[in-house]
Amino acid sequence: MNGRGQVVIVGGGPGGYEAALVAAAQGASVTVVDRDGLGGAAVLTDCVPSKTLISTADYLGELEVATDLGVHLVDHEGDEMVAAQANLPEINRRVLDLAGAQSEDIGGRLGEVGVRVVRGAAYVLEAGRVRADLADGSAEMLDADVVLVATGARPRVMATAVPDGERILTWQQIYALPALPEHLIVVGSGVTGAELAQAYLGLGARVTLVSSRDRVLPGEDADAATVIEEVFRRRGMRVLSRSRMRGAKVVRDASGEMVGVTVTLEDGRVVEGSHALLAVGSVPQTAGLGLEEAGIALSSSGHIVVDRVSRTSVRGVYAAGDCTGVLPLASVAAMQGRIAMAHALGDAVAPLNLDIVPANIFTDPEIATVGVSEKSIDTLGLRVRTTTLPLARNPRAKMLGITDGFVKLFAESGSGTLLGGVIVAPRASELIFPVTLGVTLRLNVDQVASTFTVYPSLTGSIAEAARRLHAT
Please give the Cα distance from 176 to 92 (Å, whole number): 7
Residue 107: name the closest of 19, 7, 8, 12 by CA.
Answer: 12
What 58-63 contacts at long range (C-beta under 8 Å, 24+ apart), as own/partner pairs, is: 58/202, 58/364, 58/426, 60/84, 60/86, 60/202, 60/203, 60/204, 61/202, 61/364
According to the model, what pLDDT value does residue 61 have? 81
pLDDT band at 194 (very low <50, low <70, confident <90, very high): very high
For the stretch 397-402, contacts whose Cβ atoms lie closer than 8 Å and that sit 24 or more positions apart, written own/partner, are: 397/425, 397/458, 397/461, 399/456, 400/426, 401/65, 401/68, 401/69, 402/365, 402/426
- Residue 256 CB partners (closer than 8 Å, separation 6+): none
Lowest-pLDDT range, 71-85, 135-149, 151-165, 306-320? Answer: 71-85
* Other residues' Cβ atoms within 10 Å of the Cβ of residue 104: 13
> 0.85 cut: is pTM over it?
yes
Q: What is the pLDDT of residue 2?
A: 46
Q: Give the full edge-to-edge strand order of the sheet including 29-34.
A: 139-143, 129-134, 116-126, 29-34, 6-10, 146-149, 317-319
Model confidence over 404-417: pLDDT tens digits?
999 999 999 999 99
Q: Is the pLDDT of residue 96 over 80?
A: yes
| Residue 350 pLDDT > 90 | yes
8 A C-beta contact, residue 170 and residue 155: yes
CB 142 within 8 A of CB 131: yes
Instruction: Summarize pLDDT for 126-180 with one digit per residue, the tens.
Output: 999 999 999 899 999 999 999 999 999 999 999 999 999 999 999 999 999 999 9
57 with 203: CB under 8 angstroms? yes
Q: Domain limits of the chain?
A: 6-45+93-155+283-354, 168-280, 365-468
Mention every residue, 6+ apart, whose C-beta is less than 8 A from residue 367: 217, 220, 221, 224, 225, 228, 360, 361, 422, 423, 424, 428
User: pLDDT tens for residues 37-50?
Assistant: 999 999 999 999 99
The number of beta carbons lying within 10 Å of the beta carbon of residue 73 is 12
Q: 242: left (phi > 0), else alpha (psi -120 to 50), else beta?
A: left
Q: What is the residue-averaged pLDDT of the chain?
A: 94
Inter-CA distances, 229 with 51, 121, 203, 270, 350, Å = 19, 42, 18, 22, 39
- Mean pLDDT over 364-373 rounds to 96
Residue 118 CA from chain centroid, whole number: 27
Distance of CA 221 to the CA centre of its chain: 16
pLDDT exceeds cutoff 80 at 4: no
pLDDT of residue 81: 67
Would you give the distance in Å from CA 400 to the centre of its chain?
27
* Cβ proximity of 20 and 157 under 8 Å: no
Per-residue confidence (pLDDT) for residue 358, from 0 to 100: 97
Say if CB 19 and CB 158 are below 8 A apart. no
> How confident is the model at residue 252, as a pLDDT?
95
Asked if the model's pLDDT at residue 235 lies above 90, the reply is yes
pLDDT at 148: 98
The DSSP bridge partners found for residue 262 are: 249, 272
Residue 292 confidence (pLDDT) above 60: yes
pLDDT score recorded for residue 102 = 96
Identify the residue with better confidence: 41 or 73. 41
The predicted-structure confidence for 400-455, as pLDDT tens digits, reads as follows 999 999 999 999 999 999 999 999 999 999 999 999 999 999 999 999 999 999 99
Rg (CA), the chain: 24
Q: What is the mean pLDDT of residues 54-63?
A: 86
Q: How far apart are the first and last CA of the chain?
A: 54
Whether 168-280 and 6-45+93-155+283-354 are alike in CATH topology: the answer is yes
Write the class of the CATH domain 365-468: alpha beta
Is the pLDDT confidence value at 118 over 60?
Answer: yes
- The dihedral formed by the CA atoms of 407, 410, 413 and 419, expressed in degrees to the nearest 10: -140
For a pLDDT cut of 70, what percent of the chain falls above it?
98
- Cα dihedral 79/81/87/88 (nearest 10): -170
CATH architecture of 168-280: 3-Layer(bba) Sandwich (3.50)
Q: What is the model's pLDDT at position 69? A: 79
Q: Please state which of the ranges 54-68, 73-87, 223-237 shows the lowest mean pLDDT.
A: 73-87
Name, in order, each residue with C-beta under 8 angstroms of 15's C-beta and a sequence gap of 6 or more: 148, 150, 152, 320, 321, 333, 334, 336, 337
Q: How many other C-beta atoms lie within 10 A of the C-beta of residue 220?
A: 23
Look up the CATH superfamily of 6-45+93-155+283-354: FAD/NAD(P)-binding domain (3.50.50.60)
pLDDT above 90 covers what percent of the chain? 90
